[in-house]
Each structure stands twice: as structure tokens, then as C-alpha cells.
A and B are shown apart, each in its own frame.
Chain A
């Protein structure tokens, strides 16, 4: 009987830490065999700011996942995000000794290793080297060079770079929780794997993952990653705005956002009021849902405009870079009422909410 490989994903987010244990079933679908979630206390805007609290949260999430699966977790694939992440384009080449031999994995690995040797800014480290298109002896637009003959192998790469200290902090938290770090992956790329179809990636699509601390962007065209960005604002800043704007505590602000919040104020009437219990015997506070939606709308518009700036930086208005599949929003922020409509209104692109499939 064939045994299916088991893997573990660990999402160290700003609001929660999730550990998932899963495998491919006989139909090739992902089967979740264990999961654990713990509140994240030591992470701000995708970056570890308190090592001890992060370790505790990781241990809690991992323990719950282990209990539900009946397995001990040894190694994890971890995500990384944060404002420190930047991406760049780069082209490189290798000259093969024997052009009469076909191109193999070893040649592609050598080319990728060349890119890894690239000098970065002080304190930065390369996280991903993602090949886009290859050229063999000057012939371009090759997606799969394996098996071809050629002496000079060139490629254009999308390189994702992050602050070394941030990567080290994540690695330390994972090690301290008695786990091995399998890989560090850029979070928008991971989300894209979970919610985008290959057809969408071919047609051209923007993935927008609205998390608690950050909003991650990944743009695909012709099945290839073209652009990545991390915007340092997410759902938490909307909660913070509600807290300040309505003069209530954070817990109440979060509840208001989730239960009554909307990104489109036009949907609420002026006379729609919600009463918030007063603190320590004080009178209840009355909050207009229209005002609540105005606060949410203002910050959501700012976040989506930042996403739209990234889409414009990619050059989506050029005919060859058209994003036919539009925008896919995911993450906790995608559950905000009317956020889909707001994204469509501001970007002019067809939008859907992406669910892990």
C-alpha cells in the first residue's frame, strides 16, 4: 500500500499562529489530518517583536495540532511577510561545458545558485529565486528548458529579498519550540498556491491576502510570478481606527467590525444604531452603523489604493500584461462585508473571494 508523504505548515501571523498537518489523499487532494490555532502575541505587522511570546504561541499551536493528528511534529514549512520584504528582477546565465548533452536539473540548479551569490544590500538575504523564462542559445520564451540542447542557458528571475534579522528571529522561534525549519516561504506565494487556479495564473491575476498586520500582494501572468509586495497594513489597523473613532475598547471595536462592519457606507441608513455596553456601570454608548462603515471605508480604501499602486507598478495597462482574471482577495480581511465591491470599484478589475481549495 502506498504511503502518502505528510507535511506541516506553520503560519506565524499577526493575529494567530496556525499549524496544519496534512497529506495528499489517493485523489491527489490535500487532506488535513491535524490542526492547531493559538493567538499570536509576539508578532506585529508580520514581524516577530517578542521572541518569548511567539515561542509560546508556536508551542501551543503545534501541541494542539499534534494532539489532533496523534503525531509528533519535527519539521515545519514557515511563512514570512512584513514591510522588510522587497522583490526585484534579475537576469543571469551559465555556459555549459558540453552543448551536446541535454539540459538537466543540475544545470538549472547551477544557474539558480549563481543568482543566490548576488550581492544584496547590507543586512538583507535572498528568500526566493523564482525563475520566470529561459533562453537557450539566444532562443527565448522557454518555460521548460529540461531536455533541450544548448551551450548557453539564460533566465530571468524574480528575486524576493528580506531582512536577515527578521528571518533569523523566525528561525530562532521555530528552533526554540524544538522544531526544524524546513523552508521559509513568502506568504503571498503560499496563499496563491492555496486559492488560485493554474488558469487564473495563466490569464493574469492579482492575489491580495488581507491579514491582521499586513496585506500581501502577488501578481501572476502566463503562469509565472511577476510581482510581489507586502503592504504594512491589514485588518488590525481598521480595528484600531474604530477604537479611536468610536472611543471604545479594542475588543468591542473588533466585535463591531466583524458583526456590523461594512466597507461600503452607502449600504447603511442614518438611523441604524448599535448600543455598546458602558464600562463599569457607565451608560451604554450608541454608535451609528453609517459612521462605523465610514471609518472602515476610509482605511480599506487606503489599503486597496496601496494594492492598486503595486498593480500599476507592475504595468497592468500594457496589452501583454493584462490581468484577465482580475483580483482574488483572501485572508481574514476578505470577510469584511462589501470589501469585494470596494476592490472592484477602486481597481476596475473583476474580483472574487478566494477560498483554500
Chain B
């Protein structure tokens, strides 16, 4: 603001400050800024949009479905019919890692 190109603007500001006219030049800005919400589109490995997932639990279930498909290759036909249905998760099965571990142990036993 010390440049000569701002001389007039600074002078006008000074005249405003020294004016006898009592006027409020400014008012405090209300904090109306809303949080910026950016909608992210989830895509799978092939780049196609994925269905929206609601909670952490359902997100884990989605992973669990894939894990079941990978681990039970010999039951592919049966599992394929299961995977076409919407996954139903009971409350006692919420810990997907525990379930996956149990199935892994069963497979080794067999």
C-alpha cells in the first residue's frame, strides 16, 4: 500500500476516517460459511461407480462377501447363488475377522 499507485485510494480512506459524518462503514461479517460438502463417487477396481455404503458395519460386510468368495472356491456354485442375494448380517456376526478366522480354521481341519 506504500506504492504511489494506491495514493488516491489511501487518500479517500483518510477522508473517510476524518469525516465529520458519523456513518458505520462496515459491519462484522456473520459466520455464515457452511461446511463444504463434496460428494465423492466411489469407484471399484474397474472404474465403475460403486453403490453407496452407509455404515462401517455394512462396509465390512461388503469386504466379508469378497473374502467368502475367495476362500471357498470349491463351493463356488453354492456361494454364487448366495452372493446374488443381499447379504444378511446378524448382530452376533458383526466381527467379520472372527468369522473369517473361524472359516479358515474349518478349512484347514478338513
Contacts and interface: CB of A to CB of B under 8 A. Distances in A.
A complexed with B: yes
A20 B1 contact: yes
Interface string B14-29: 1111010101111111
Contacts of B10: 9, 20, 30, 194, 356
Interface in B23-54: 23-29
A226 B4 CA distance: 23
Interface in A18-46: 18-24, 30, 32, 35
A195 B23 contact: no
Contacts of A77: 12-13, 15-16, 19
A87 B28 CA distance: 39
A216 to B, nearest CB: 8
Contact of A356 (B2, B17, B26, B29): B2
Interface stretch (A129-137, A183-191, A248-256, A304-312): A183-191
B25 A191 contact: no
B13 to A, nearest CB: 3
Interface size class of B (residues with CB under 8 A): 20 to 34
Given A11-B9, A194-B8, A75 B23 contact: yes
Contact of B26 (A74, A187, A190, A209): A74
A190 B4 contact: no
Contact of A194 (B11, B21, B28, B29): B11
B50 to A, nearest CB: 38
A193 B11 CA distance: 5
B86 to A, nearest CB: 49
Given A6-B26, A183-B19, A79 B8 contact: yes
B28 A13 contact: no
B5 interface: yes
Interface residues of A, number: 56
B73 interface: no
A209 B12 CA distance: 14
Contact of A71 (B3, B5, B21, B28): B28
Q: Name which of B21, B23, B28 has the most chain A CB atoms within 10 A of its CB.
A: B23
Contact of B7 (A5, A19, A71, A195): A195
B52 to A, nearest CB: 35
A92 interface: no
B8 A211 contact: yes
A300 interface: no
Contact of A353 (B4, B15, B16, B29): B4
Given A72-B26, A183-B15, A183-B16, 16 more contacts: A11-B6, A20-B10, A20-B13, A24-B17, A74-B26, A77-B15, A183-B21, A190-B11, A192-B11, A194-B7, A332-B5, A334-B4, A354-B4, A355-B4, A356-B3, A357-B2
Interface of A: 5-11, 13, 16, 18-24, 30, 32, 35, 66, 69-79, 180, 182-183, 185, 187, 189-195, 209, 211, 329-332, 334-335, 353-357
5 contacts: A24-B17, A70-B29, A73-B25, A332-B5, A334-B4
